[in-house]
Amino acid sequence: MADPMETDTVVVGLGAMGAQTLWRLARQGIDAVGVERFTPGHDRGSSHGESRIIRTAYLEGEEYVPFVRAAWRAWAELEEASGERLVHRVGALMLGAPDSSAVRGSLAAAALHGLPVEHLSAAGLAGRFPRHAVRAQEEGVFEEEGGAVLPEAAILAAVRLARAAGARVLTGAAVTRIEPDPDRPRVLIGDTEIRARRVVVTAGAWLPSLLPPLAGLGGGLRVERRVLGWFRLTGEVPPYAADPVFARDEPDGTLWYGFPSLDGRTVKIGVHAEAPGAPRRPGSQWGEPVDPDTGPRAPDADDARRLGELTAGLRGVEPLPERMAACMYTMTSDEHFVIGRHRELPGLVVAGGFSGHGYKFASAVGQALADLARDGGTELPVSMFDPHRWD
């Protein structure tokens, strides 16, 4: 074995969270090494697909709002540092019945935190957002403070800036073992050994296999398949580029989402969660378990039909997708994140279980993880994501 590589902090996984963490560490002058098993911006995990929603009136819980606000500030810092436009501020629209989580949760978050939103009736939605085929009893919540983050572009920008600030980046490097230690934890990549003061593990779907002692982390992390579809515009309504990102709660409890056209030709939609009690049978795209080393099953005709059913809620969109992509959700039992130091694994900081709604927070997560690695604590509001909350 070659002589060990020495550094202050190792970041394992340079996807959404790891790339941001590495940049934050490097810009603070901390000697850091980033390790990525593929190449930054790859499509093998959970950080691809060209766009991710960011919104502030958070339907998943009003307690997230301070963290979203921190993320907005951190995205602006990355845009300024990179000189790139990484967030399209087009607004966000939540649709559903008055008692749906999309409407009720968004309004609750807005009320608690004094967020400026518009509460729209079905008639108001029809006049304001003609792309959406709205049922008579449905309502909407629109916030200007919303939009789309560009995931691959943001990862590449953060890694580029980290390198420019002095970080070392190892790509095509699969970590075989992480050995905790209170003083000098070790990361092993085949015959290569890296010794550090801290190791930050942001390995996404690979987190359970890299850290098997964390079997109870996240209440038992599980990796699930999801499918995204891009649908051609037909030109029957005004250009979709003027519309906001959206999420829609169907009467049966299915929650799906979509984006305005970023390429001028297609719109992207996906399903976040199926209706409660929907069967999770083999061949079903939502809830299907995934081995991350194998990757999610490629999209097929059943996926195309399932996504196509949702386009009945949109005007001027073809009924079948032009193309599709599969990705992975890494789920915790309560669908809230895991961010923090782990008391049983000295020297390690972990982040994972983002449960399909974490990318918008990546900029703030990176900041929090860099704080935790450097100082052992952070002023950012991450206490609700304590890895030990299931103990």
The predicted pLDDT at position 239 comes to 61
- What's the rounded Cα separation, in Å, for the pair 206 and 185? 19
Q: How many domains are there within the chain?
A: 2
> Picking from 1-5, 27-31, 154-158, which range would have the lowest pLDDT averaged per residue?
1-5
Residue 338: which region, alpha, beta or left (left: phi > 0; alpha: psi -120 to 50)? beta
**CA–CA separation, 255 vs 272, rounded Å?**
6
Q: What is the CATH number of the domain that holds 297?
A: 3.30.9.10
Tokens representing residue 121 in the block: 């009736």
Q: How many CA atoms lie within 13 A of 346 on its CB side?
A: 6
The answer to whether 362 touches 17, Cβ cutoff 8 Å, is yes
Domain end call among 296, 328, 360 = 328
Instruction: Check whether residue 167 and residue 307 sit in a common domain.
Output: no
| Residues 283 and 311 placed together within one structural domain of the fold | yes
Question: What residue type is assigned to position 127 of the chain?
Answer: G
User: Is 390 part of a structural domain of the chain?
Assistant: no
Q: Are residues 270 and 311 in the same domain?
A: yes
Asked if pLDDT for residue 98 goes beyond 90, the answer is yes
Structure tokens at 265: 């030709």
Residue 163 lies in a domain: yes
Average pLDDT along the chain: 93
269 in the same domain as 166: no
pLDDT the model gives residue 281:
41
Distance of alpha carbon 144 from alpha carbon 131, whole angstroms: 17
| Domain CATH for 197 | 3.50.50.60
Contact partners, residue 169, CB within 8 Å, separation at least 6: 14, 22, 33, 34, 36, 40, 159, 162, 163
CA 52 to chain centre: 7
User: Of 18 and 242, which is predicted with more confidence?
Assistant: 18
Residues 128 and 200 in one domain: no
Distance of alpha carbon 32 from its chain centroid, rounded?
24
The β-bridge partners of 188 are 177, 193
Q: Model confidence at 56, in pLDDT bands (50, 70, 90)?
A: very high
Q: Judge if 245 and 344 occupy the same domain.
A: no
Count of Cβ atoms closer than 10 Å to residue 201 Cβ: 27
The β-bridge partners of 233 are 317
- What phi and psi values does residue 75 have, to the nearest 5 degrees? -60, -40
Average pLDDT over residues 350-369: 97
Q: Helix, strand, or coil here: 153?
A: helix
Dist. CA 347–CA 179, nearest whole Å? 9
Q: Please indicate, yes or no, whether residues 310 and 266 belong to a single structural domain of this protein.
A: yes
Residue 213 pLDDT level (bands cut at 50, 70, 90): low
| Residue 344 or 46, more confident | 46
> Which of these, 241, 53, 259, lies nearest to 146 by C-alpha position?
53
Listed range (48-62, 83-97, 202-216, 366-380) with the worst mean pLDDT: 202-216
Residues 306 and 193 in one domain: no
Instruction: For 258-286, write each residue's pLDDT tens digit.
Output: 999 988 899 999 999 986 655 444 444 46
Distance between CA atoms of 271 and 251, rounded to whole angstroms?
Answer: 14
Return the SS3 of 352. strand
**Contact between 312 and 318 (Cβ < 8 Å):** no
Same-domain check for residues 130 and 245:
yes
Helix (H) or strand (E) holding 340: strand 338-341
The percentage of residues in the chain with a pLDDT greater than 90, rounded to a whole number, is 84
Tell me the pLDDT tens digit for each residue of 5-44: 999 999 999 999 999 999 999 999 999 999 999 999 999 9
240 in the same domain as 269: yes
Q: Look at residue 195 and tell me if it is in a domain.
A: yes
* 375 and 284 both lie in a single domain: no
Structure tokens at 325: 């992509």
Residue 284 has a pLDDT of 46
pLDDT reading at 323 higher than 90: yes
pTM given for the model: 0.95
In the prediction, which pLDDT does 75 show?
98
Across residues 196-216, what is the average pLDDT?
87
Q: Domain range spanning residue 123?
A: 89-147+225-328
Would you state the structure tokens that stand for residue 203, as one six-digit string?
A: 């390995």
According to the model, what pLDDT value does residue 215 have? 53
Asked if the model's pLDDT at residue 321 lies above 60, the reply is yes
Residues 376 and 232 placed together within one structural domain of the fold: no
